[in-house]
Amino acid sequence: MTPPRLRVQFIHGLEGSPQGAKARFLAGPFDVIAPAMDTSDFAGAIEAQARALAERQPDVVVGSSFGGAIAVELIDRGLWRGPTLLLAQAALKLGQARRIAPGVPVLLVHGLRDDVVPIEDSRALAATGTPSLVRLVEVDDDHRLQTLVDSGRLSDLVRTVAALGRHEDARPAAAAPWSQDLYQRALAFAARAHGDQKVPGSTMPYVVHVALVAMEVLAAARVDPFDADLAIACALLHDTLEDTQVEAAAIDREFGPRVLAGVRALTKDEARPKPQRMADSLARIAREPREVGAVKLADRITNLQEPPRDWTPAKRAAYREEARAILAAVGGASAPLAARLAAKIEAYGAFVDDGPLEPSP
Ligand code: NI
């Protein structure tokens, strides 16, 4: 029986394309996924590649030059931890992540005659990460590394890094353990507190909203582990102080001071003028553990759905602006949630008049 073909996600460089020489070569021995991306938009390119990673689950990622910088950033944000081949990577040159996260198998290849990206950049990057999992191969070539294609060596390198992925030191992010009992307790507490309240503009019980927020933080904790219990409790209780009669003392008694501090930061201060409330809350969230920021990201991800019909264009645009402010203020709390919120903000453009211009049919 022939072994299944390796699935390779190829991230091309500035001058490359999903149909370039390297992608076409790789499509011989491997199943190649080469998502299209706009190389003038780094954040958008990250999103496009992250989406493909989640949907297609490749065995190996190959990043070339600019694409190498994208791959390094995906690793740094915890969006990819599998075997990665970096060809003349441009991460340091583009001012992106300057290190490889521990536990990730990475093979770097760089040409000694590269006059676009100095080989010292790959030497510096290769000095990071887990030593048993990171290798640098220096070859007699220039930036394009065309000899790898001409000699067929590129496929050997892909297989080498795939094998590195089976090394005992290679480890997927450890999923954070969390307590189902705490989830149950906090959900019941929130259900009692919110009573008959509905999700605005719908007939759904309000607790559906907080359960969705908790679901988002749990999904994020799987790829980028944090204290999931703290995040769950804050997610399920995040609107109790703002929208119900619940007393802070009851949260403190049932869930402890850390959860209370998180819920407080997520609560707008009604003593302040309305336009200042979000910025004030975001500033307080930023001083809390990152789990609290993750809840704020998850809250807005959950809320960025089709707006109620009676919302004016100005209100929709303001809501999107506010989402951008949230992303800017607390995006660092959780890379997977930040990427997901960025995608939701983009999609919300369809409900805003000045959304991205569609090419006319
Ligand atoms: Ni909420």
- For 114-149, what is each residue's pLDDT tens digit? 999 999 999 999 999 999 999 999 999 999 999 999
Q: Which of 72-76, 97-101, 241-245 has the lowest mean pLDDT?
A: 97-101
pLDDT at 3: 67
> How many angstroms does the Cα of residue 181 sit away from the middle of ligand 1?
22
Average pLDDT over residues 26-35: 95
pLDDT at 164: 92
Give the percent of the chain with pLDDT over 70. Answer: 95
pLDDT higher than threshold 70 for residue 31: yes
Domains and CATH numbers, the chain: 7-170 (3.40.50.1820), 180-351 (1.10.3210.10)
| Burial (Cβ within 10 Å: 0-12, 13-18, ≥19) of residue 278 | middle
> How many angstroms does the Cα of residue 239 sit away from the middle of ligand 1?
6
pLDDT at 2: 64
Token readout for 343 is: 């995608």
Arithmetic mean of pLDDT over the chain: 91
pLDDT at 85: 98
Model confidence over 277-312: pLDDT tens digits?
Answer: 999 999 999 999 999 999 999 999 999 999 988 899
pLDDT at 356: 46
Tell me the Cα Rg of the chain: 23
Highest mean pLDDT of the ranges 221-225, 286-290, 300-304, 350-354: 300-304
pLDDT higher than threshold 90 for residue 211: yes
Residue 339 to residue 329: CA distance in whole angstroms:
14
pLDDT higher than threshold 50 for residue 360: no
pLDDT tier, 174 (very low <50, low <70, confident <90, very high otherwise): low
> How many angstroms does the Cα of residue 205 sit away from the middle of ligand 1?
13
Q: pTM of the entire structure?
A: 0.58
> How many angstroms does the Cα of residue 103 sit away from the middle of ligand 1?
35
pLDDT tier, 186 (very low <50, low <70, confident <90, very high otherwise): very high
pLDDT higher than threshold 90 for residue 89: yes
E strand spans, the chain? 7-11, 31-33, 60-64, 84-87, 106-111, 134-139
Residue 248 and residue 264 in contact, taking contact as beta carbons nearer than 8 Å: yes
pLDDT higher than threshold 50 for residue 271: yes
> How many angstroms does the Cα of residue 360 sit away from the middle of ligand 1?
37
> How many angstroms does the Cα of residue 210 sit away from the middle of ligand 1?
6
Residue 80 and residue 61 in contact, taking contact as beta carbons nearer than 8 Å: yes
> How many angstroms does the Cα of residue 266 sit away from the middle of ligand 1?
9
> How many angstroms does the Cα of residue 179 sit away from the middle of ligand 1?
22
Average pLDDT over residues 30-55: 89
How far are the Cα atoms of 51, 222, 293, 295, 321 from residue 345, in angstroms, in the given order? 15, 23, 17, 17, 9
Under 8 Å CB-to-CB from 357, ≥6 apart: which residues? Answer: none
Model confidence over 39-49: pLDDT tens digits?
Answer: 898 888 988 89
pLDDT higher than threshold 50 for residue 36: yes
pLDDT at 354: 58
Give the percent of the chain with pLDDT over 90. Answer: 74
> How many angstroms does the Cα of residue 350 sit away from the middle of ligand 1?
22
> How many angstroms does the Cα of residue 238 sit away from the middle of ligand 1?
6
Model confidence over 189-202: pLDDT tens digits?
Answer: 999 999 999 998 88
Residue 248 and residue 258 in contact, taking contact as beta carbons nearer than 8 Å: no
Q: Tokens 């008049």 label which residue?
A: 353
Residue 292 to residue 137: CA distance in whole angstroms:
42
Number of H helices, E strands in the chain: 16, 6
